Amino acid sequence: MTKPLEFADFVVGDEIGQMLLDVTDKVCAALPGSFPEAEEENIGLELTVATMMQAYLSIVTPRPQGNIHTGMTFSLSGWVNPRDSIRAIARCVSKEQRRSGPRVVFEILLTCGDRDIAKAEMSFLWAQ
């Protein structure tokens, strides 16, 4: 097993990684389990949120146990649509040692071809 990412591993401004995420029919069919209020014909926002979280969980890994998610900002320029192929890029945008512990902020960018979809900044108290 790979050693979990540590606070010292993150360099402000550096890309952590990137990936392509295909929004398949299977992904769309599973969405009501996470978003029971979503309307089948209008699921762009829900797909965007789910894709953003999948990107974070897949790129910023392995994570140590005990991290605390302390905040998130989310900016939309568009929607993720069924059958899109989404490029996700994660980078470290800040980190600091606080009395409460080490804090790190990641930026997750989603694009589809030349179309910007969304940007999130997710902050964490990092366990190691």
Confidence band (pLDDT; 50, 70, 90) for 8?
Answer: very high
Q: Which residue ranges make up each domain of the chain?
A: 7-125
Confidence band (pLDDT; 50, 70, 90) for 28?
Answer: confident
Q: Is the pLDDT of residue 24 over 80?
A: yes
- Within 8 A by CB and 6+ apart from 15, the residues are 89, 90, 91
- Across the chain, which distance is largest between two alpha carbons, in Å? 47
The CATH superfamily label for domain 7-125 reads Hotdog Thioesterase (3.10.129.10)
What pLDDT sits at residue 5? Answer: 96
pLDDT tens per residue across span 11-23: 999 999 999 999 9
Q: Is the pLDDT of residue 49 over 80?
A: yes
